[in-house]
Amino acid sequence: MKKWLKDWLPSLFIALILSFILQNYIAQAVTIPSESMIPTLNINDKLIINKLIKPEDLEYGDIVVFYSPVTKGERYIKRLIGIGGDTIEIKNGYLYRNGERIHEPYLVKSIDYEFGPVLVPEDNYFFLGDNRNSSYDSHLWPYPFIEKEKLIGKAVFRYYPFSRVKKF
């Protein structure tokens, strides 16, 4: 038994170190905890997020994981709607960015609330869930913006359930 342990211990140690680095700095598996991103993401869907993405490389419509602006340590996953300098408004069931109505093919219901207009501060982001009428997101938070330091990563791949595997 000692020889087995002696032979495998260095490999096990290296594997643990690599796993730690991968999980904390490169990519991470996450499980969807709520219905806020339905129909795009369902409860218990499992995703890989890219933690190496730079905030300036994010694009409108990206699905992003970030630290909650309300509950310390909690993480949210939402769709990026606005970046610093954008004016966001929701009226008559539609989302507007900088005065232009945004086409959102991922929504299955029209939005049943009004919001804004608000100007997104520099180095901040505005996020909404795809299940707009049931999502606790930027339109409800006391401070509706997420600072770039709170960003964790971008969703890149859904690997479970197997019937819904998808690259984002």
Which residues participate in catalysis according to the annotation?
36, 78
Find the angle CA(70)-CA(64)-CA(41) to the nearest 5 degrees: 100
Secondary structure tally for the chain: helices H, strands E: 1, 12
d(CA 94, CA 102): 7
Bridge partners (DSSP) listed for residue 101:
96
Q: Contact 127/81 with Cβ under 8 angstroms?
A: yes
Other C-beta atoms closer than 10 Å to the C-beta of 133 total: 11
Bridge partners (DSSP) listed for residue 64:
78, 154
